[in-house]
Amino acid sequence: MKFFNEMMADETSAREPYRLYKDWFDSQDPKVLKRKSAEAEAVFRRTGITFNVYGKKDAEERLIPFDIVPRIIGAREWTKLTKGIDQRVRAINAFLHDIYHKQEILKAGRIPKHLIQNNEAYLPQMIGVTPPGGVYTHIVGIDIVRTGENDFYVLEDNARTPSGVSYMLENRETMLQMFPDLFAQNRVQQVSDYPHALRRSLSDCAPKACKGKPVLGVLTPGIHNSAYFEHAFLADQMGAELVEGHDIKIENGRVCMRTTEGNEPIDVLYRRVDDEYLDPLNFNPDSMLGVPGLMDIYRAGGITIANAPGAGIADDKAIYSYMPDIIEFYTGEKALLDNVPTWRCSEADSLAYVLEHLSELVVKEVHGSGGYGMLVGPAASKKEIEVFRKKLEAKPSNYIAQPTLALSTTPVFTKSKLAPRHVDLRPFILVSPNKINITPGGLTRVAMKEGSLVVNSSQGGGTKDTWVLED
């Protein structure tokens, strides 16, 4: 299988976005670069940028590998991507409003009713509720892969609690420290204002109950969560309070946090807690992470929750397969960014095809994330395929399947030289009532193992700084 090389046009010449970088790299001493790479790792370790791997016996915190070779995207390439991302995010918000109100898309037969009504991510508690400003997905992460010069595909939509933005920011900060000369030579668009943009965007979504400057809180499950570093980082960077469920109480129709000066109302709660655990009175009664009565205050207009409860149905992987129809239904336009062809295993014909071609396909859980619960057919053993076959036959509606794409490669620095590795990209999008703000770049995840197509950090993947060049 031939893979598109994002850096090299041929064996000797670089593609235009990488031209200045390639000239710089060729002039460097490999020993110095090797030392810089070790310094970068030390910075990440010192800063505490780690994550937990769930389901492992040795589930200690681990360092995400960081590669010092940036992924570089040209201005025209980025313009094409942002138009498609903007269109997709607008459609997702319109879709969420519709399925919790008039359900016009179901009446029109564009999506099967059972796919919504029997979906665990669909929350009946949100029926008839319009969030402040009409915004359901305040922070969105759209995972994009590339297979050619002009061929981009959306791999999945992250509309619940997309993570990874702290790595985007720390990757850039580290590169600025390590290689300031590179930024003098290349006109790279900045990402450092993301926390301020996030604060502005969330503040613009404050509820009517807000009086004066909005008070923001970041609701975290606590220090044992794999993304706790990010929760604390973002709260600090945007001047919000980092709170856990036990720090919050309901008082006089408002959601309040305990402070040294008494209880203070929170106007916008950026939650990093899953729907199921948000409110034990309305969802899982055993939850110790949420706030009893939070949904009642939310429905009454006393607080904004970002992202809105129930938004997760928009990143369900079975719903994903209908995204071209969703975009056309709500925007009247054809999708500017392609979906990956997808077989819905809940359909008999698709299931039969998938079972017959398991060794060729990637099979994913419809609610899965982080690379867990999936089968990469071409990389799996016969035994792994047969074990997965039984899971698929037992509960076909829990899975979708996709072809194995020829993901593009970018170089990583390894053993004092460059070597190609597969990558994806997660741009971060902020949505407020009157604006969609797409941060120039995002999180590039890279499969550090040679030949691997799985980029998730939980599966051994690393990250890179992502450069979007100015026009």
At 309-328, the pLDDT tens digits run 999 999 888 899 999 999 99
For residue 149, pLDDT over 70 is answered with yes
- Tell me the domains of the chain and their CATH numbers: 16-122+132-187+325-338+420-468 (no CATH), 343-403 (3.30.1490.270)
Question: What pLDDT is attached to residue 63?
Answer: 77
pLDDT of res. 373: 78
pLDDT at position 153, please? Answer: 97
Check residue 454 and give its pLDDT: 77
CA angle 427, 429, 433 (to 5 degrees): 170
Location of structure tokens 């030392």: 35
pLDDT at position 56 over 70? no
3 state DSSP class of 356:
helix
* 153-205 confidence digits (pLDDT tens): 999 999 999 999 999 999 999 999 999 999 999 999 999 999 999 999 999 99
pLDDT value at position 54? 47
Q: What is the pLDDT of residue 328?
A: 98
Across 321-339, average pLDDT? 97
Q: What is the pTM of this model?
A: 0.93
Task: Report the interhelical angle of 194-203 vs 165-178 (nearest 10°).
Answer: 150
Q: Please, is 50 exposed, middle or buried when counting C-beta atoms within 10 Å of its C-beta (0-12, 13-18, 19+)? A: middle
Q: What is the mean pLDDT of residues 7-22?
A: 95
**pLDDT tops 70 at residue 49:** no
CB 164 within 8 A of CB 142: no
Q: Average the pLDDT over each of 45-54, 80-89, 141-150, 241-250 and give the range with the smallest value.
A: 45-54
Q: Does residue 366 register a pLDDT over 90?
A: no
- Provide, rounded to the nearest whole percent, the portion of the chain with pLDDT above 90: 82
Is the pLDDT reported for residue 223 higher than 80?
yes
Q: Which residue has the tokens 């070597």?
A: 419
Q: What is the pLDDT of residues 369-419, one digit of tens each?
A: 656 678 988 889 999 999 999 999 999 999 999 999 999 999 999 988 899
CA 261 from centre of chain: 37
- In this prediction, residue 61 has a pLDDT band, given cuts at 50, 70 and 90, of low
Tell me how far CA of residue 199 lies from CA of 151, 214, 215, 305, 394, in angstroms.
34, 10, 10, 14, 45
Q: What are phi and psi of 334, to 5 degrees?
A: -75, 150
Q: Exposed e or buried b for every residue in 435-454, given b needs 16+ CB within 10 A?
A: ebbbbbbbbbbbbbeeebbb
Q: Give 405-422 pLDDT, tens digit per residue.
A: 999 999 999 988 899 999
pLDDT of residue 210: 95
| Average pLDDT rounded to a whole number, residues 31-50 | 86
Amino acid 415: pLDDT = 81
pLDDT recorded at residue 458: 66
Q: What is the DSSP code (8-state) at residue 132?
A: G
- pLDDT level of residue 234 (50, 70, 90 thresholds): very high
Round to the nearest angstrom and report the end-to-end CA distance of the chain.
Answer: 33
pLDDT for the residue numbered 51: 56
Mean local confidence (pLDDT), 141-158: 95
